[in-house]
Amino acid sequence: MKKMWAVAMIAALVSLPVLAQKKEQERLEQCGTVLKEVLDIPEGVPPDLLNKAECVIVLPSVKKFAIGIGGSVGRGAIICRSGENFTGPWGAPAMFALEGANIGLQLGGQATDFILLVMNKKGADSVMSSKAKLGTDAAVAAGPKGRDAGAQTDVVMKAEILTYSRAKGLFAGVSLEGSTLRSDGDANKKIYGRELSAREIVREAKVETPAAGLALANLLNQKSPKNLSETK
């Protein structure tokens, strides 16, 4: 009996890392699914804004729970155009996290998908730091939506990050000021098999795109193959 228990415990310990890796792979795959659904919405993210973005952050199914009052942690992925000046194809994604007490106010007890567009190098450098506070370390604004949205408004021109949400089929710009973004080191280790920061993955290109991230990268390379921001 003791031997059977020992074997069972060993099997459980061996399977835990595999299950954890599978969970992160599924989360990364879900990022691709969510972004495709959002980009297919006629009144969704303006294509001209996507074409000017350096990076995209996707956080699927963020749910409210208690960290302090009405807080949340959303986990997903960041993906950027490759090259020093973000002029190359979309590269490998890194796992990322969004957290803060005010996120819960946006959720109302329901699962919500968040899409963030990082619009310039300064914004990308900010989110690649150890922890970036939106509104303090990076200028953030609720993103306009629809194909005819005023993409040249002062809000858009001044923002380094544009933020959107989708819940119960409703898509809109949303304020995430005061929330923080950070690299999800544990998740990156499960995806890539070794400790890597988001910067090492998306900016230093130290890894190839994993199978779970191909749908996300291929979608962006199809929808926005070229960086059309004025400085490029």
Residues 120-138 pLDDT 10s: 999 999 999 878 999 999 9
Nearest CA-CA partner of 156 in 120, 180, 103: 120
As a whole number, the mean pLDDT across the chain is: 84
Please check whether residue 230 lies inside any domain of the structure: no
Taking 90 as the threshold, does the pLDDT of residue 168 lie above it?
Answer: no
Q: Which of 30-44, 52-66, 139-153, 158-172 has the highest mean pLDDT?
A: 30-44
Please check whether residue 232 lies inside any domain of the structure: no
Q: Quote the tokens at residue 39.
A: 């980009």
Report the percent of the chain where pLDDT is more than 90: 58
Question: Is 223 or 173 the better-scoring residue by pLDDT?
Answer: 223
Taking 60 as the threshold, does the pLDDT of residue 156 lie above it?
Answer: yes
The whole-angstrom separation of Cα 219 and Cα 205 is: 19
Residues 6+ apart with CB under 8 A from 203: 80, 124, 128
Question: Is 112 or 30 the better-scoring residue by pLDDT?
Answer: 30
Please check whether residue 21 lies inside any domain of the structure: yes
Nearest CA-CA partner of 223 in 13, 67, 46: 46
Q: What pTM does this model have? A: 0.86
Residues 177-189 pLDDT 10s: 888 999 999 999 9
> Which domain range does residue 192 map to?
2-223
67-81, 100-114, 177-191, 212-226: least confident range: 100-114
3-state secondary structure of 166: strand
Report yes or no: 176 and 130 within 8 Å, Cβ to Cβ.
no
Whose tokens are 């409703």? That residue is 170
Count how many domains the chain has.
1
Taking 60 as the threshold, does the pLDDT of residue 220 lie above it?
Answer: yes
Please check whether residue 231 lies inside any domain of the structure: no
Please check whether residue 14 lies inside any domain of the structure: yes
How is 1-56 classified by DSSP, letter by letter?
-HHHHHHHHHHHHHHHHHHHHHHHHHHHHHHHHHHHHHHT-TTSS-HHHHTT-SEE
Mean pLDDT of 164-175: 84
14-28, 46-60, 116-130, 182-196: least confident range: 14-28
Residues 6+ apart with CB under 8 A from 49: 117, 119, 143, 144, 149, 151, 156, 162
Taking 60 as the threshold, does the pLDDT of residue 66 lie above it?
Answer: no
pLDDT band for position 112 (50/70/90)?
Answer: confident
Number of neighbours of residue 23 by Cβ within 10 angstroms:
12
Count Cα neighbours of 216 within 13 Å in the Cβ-side half-sphere: 33
Taking 90 as the threshold, does the pLDDT of residue 104 lie above it?
Answer: no
pLDDT at site 147: 63
pLDDT band for position 73 (50/70/90)?
Answer: confident
Please check whether residue 184 lies inside any domain of the structure: yes
Please check whether residue 187 lies inside any domain of the structure: yes
